[in-house]
Structure 1
Amino acid sequence: MSEPPALGNGAHLQFMGPLSEARAGRIAVRLAAAGPGTVVDFGCGWGELLLRILAATPGATGVGVDVHGPDLVRGRANAERAGLAERVTFVEGEAGTLRRTADVILSLGAYHAFGSVRDALVAFREMVAPGGRVLFGAEFWEREPSAERLARMWPGASAGDCTDLAGLVDKAIDAGFRPLWIETVSRDEWDEFESGLASDVEEWLLAHPDHLEAQAVREKLDDQRSMWLRGHRDVMGFAYLTLGAG
């Protein structure tokens, strides 16, 4: 009998994050316009945005690093189909252990690998080449979370886990960047991402209701959905900051 797919593997998602096709296209064009020769994606997943930037920047080379091997296999296959296999390398490992100078650095929700938001921004400021760009994606509070909402988020969630959007931008400036573009995800982008994380597993449950693992899988899905709908939805936002380095 078929085993359940891994929860949160993103099989039905184009991007491993709340990112629409339209926004991804605009970001890729914006970063390619700087004419980068090298692009590094920390916590790349399957590196869809990395590949799009390389496709828009003839001659540029890229490196994607992530701890999740299956995502990297998917990334290599996508690169092969896009004719980019000779220009990109996917490395399995902790993003925080790689130190690589690049013209463009991507970090979309992967700052934890470096410690805090501040730690990650300081590290990227040291690694980005003069005149380079950093695309930094991170959570922020759209409004101050109540104790009730925090209790329904991830275990141990606290108001200090994020700042508001202005505070997040201030941290980038304090690290030595200038904010070239500030944008935040829409509710539709969040909903597509959260639904897509669970959809293939939900489909498996419908097809295998009597599987020995079905109840455990159902409970995990219900917990994940509750954290989203009863916890962080409309409270926590996600920002994409395009940052310039002098």
Structure 2
Amino acid sequence: MNREQMSRIAHRGHPIKSPLGDDSVRRLLERGLARGDERVLDLGCGPGEWLLRALALRPGVRAEGVDVSEDALSQAAAAAGDLGVRDRLVLHHRKAEEFVSAEPFDVILSFGAAHAFGGLLPTLAAARGHLAPGGRVLIGDGFWERPPSREAVEMLGDFTDLATTVDRVVAAGWTPVDGHISTRQELDDYEWACWGGLAAWALDHPDDPDSAQVLETATVRRAEWLRVYRDSFGFLSLVLRRTPGSD
């Protein structure tokens, strides 16, 4: 079973592919979609869960999503059809960092996709190129709540602490107007949903040729979470606007 298929199974119980609960997602979207008629772009949309929720929340919103996974975009299109919002959603099959548009967007979304651009600040730089004057960026990425082990850094990336992360965002010309630090419950719920979901699938499909591989992956990933990064990893979501004079 390839990585994309495994990810699809792992996220069945947690379609937002970040450690955020439904209430947190809704509040961030409400803060970002202040008018209700915005043009929204998701850089690295995957199956489009953020866009689907934005379209359902604000009937005047129009959205576009970019992703390299054709399968994920097919899922997004099917789900949009089921919700009756397909006519307000445009999907682009390409690398997020290569996407261009003739028109700017009022809101840019990027959650858990900073690796595509090489980190949080490069992701913000890319978002800036698509953002309309007065627009907002909703972005989520990791930080270290406590000093990490070398193994945790090698596994998840070279994050910084919370204060330094925000300082760097501000120094790059952005002003936070809202945000959310994922709670321990949100962080744990996400991990249990992913690795528990994989394990449950393997147990429910004992005759599948991929069952043993999936169960082993779930076991390894759960152990990595509990032993390597659970006590140090945090997740920060920000609602950002450009700081006057920074352009």
Q: Verify same fold: TM over 0.5.
A: yes
Q: Which amino acid aligns with 2:45?
A: C
Change beyond 3 A, Cα 1:210–1:61: closer
Q: Which amino acid aligns with 1:120?
A: T
What are the Cα deviations for residues 121-158 of structure 1, in whole angstroms up to 9, with x where unaligned? 12222321111000011100001113xxx32x47x348
Q: After TM superposition, what 4+ stretches of structure 1 lie above 4 angstroms from structure 2?
A: none
1:176 aligns with 2:173: yes
Preserved contact between residue 45 and residue 66 of structure 1 (Cα < 8 Å): yes
Structure 1: gaps (5+ residues): none
Structure 2 residue matching 1:22: 3-state secondary structure: helix
Structure 2 residue matching 1:104: 3-state secondary structure: strand
Change beyond 3 A, Cα 1:233–1:58: same
Q: Please, which of 102, 107, 116 is the counterpart of residue 113 of structure 1?
A: 116
CA distance in 1 between partners of 2:220 and 2:54 (Å): 35
Match of 2:18 in 1: 17
CA distance in 2 between partners of 1:58 and 1:212 (Å): 44
Q: Please, which of 126, 139, 150 is the counterpart of residue 142 of structure 2?
A: 139
CA distance in 1 between partners of 2:133 and 2:21 (Å): 30
Q: Which amino acid aligns with 1:53?
A: A
What are the Cα deviations for residues 54-112 of structure 1, in whole angstroms up to 9, with x where unaligned? 23333321111122222222211221122210001122221111134210000101111
Normalization by structure 1: what TM-score? 0.87
Preserved contact between residue 7 and residue 197 of structure 1 (Cα < 8 Å): no
1:222 aligns with 2:219: yes
Shift of 1:26: 0.9
CA distance in 2 between partners of 1:13 and 1:157 (Å): 22
Shift of 1:163: 0.7
CA distance in 2 between partners of 1:222 and 1:205 (Å): 11
CA distance in 1 between partners of 2:206 and 2:58 (Å): 47
CA distance in 2 between partners of 1:25 and 1:211 (Å): 37
Match of 1:6 in 2: 5
Normalization by structure 2: what TM-score? 0.87
Shift of 1:41: 0.4
Structure 1 residue matching 2:80: 3-state secondary structure: helix
CA distance in 2 between partners of 1:98 and 1:225 (Å): 35
Structure 1 residue matching 2:237: 3-state secondary structure: strand
Change beyond 3 A, Cα 1:241–1:30: same
- Aligned length in residues: 239
Match of 2:90 in 1: 89
Change beyond 3 A, Cα 1:199–1:72: farther
Preserved contact between residue 145 and residue 233 of structure 2 (Cα < 8 Å): yes
Residue identity (%):
38
Shift of 1:211: 4.7
Match of 1:243 in 2: 240
Structure 1 residue matching 2:19: 3-state secondary structure: coil
Change beyond 3 A, Cα 1:223–1:17: same
Structure 2 residue matching 1:161: 3-state secondary structure: coil
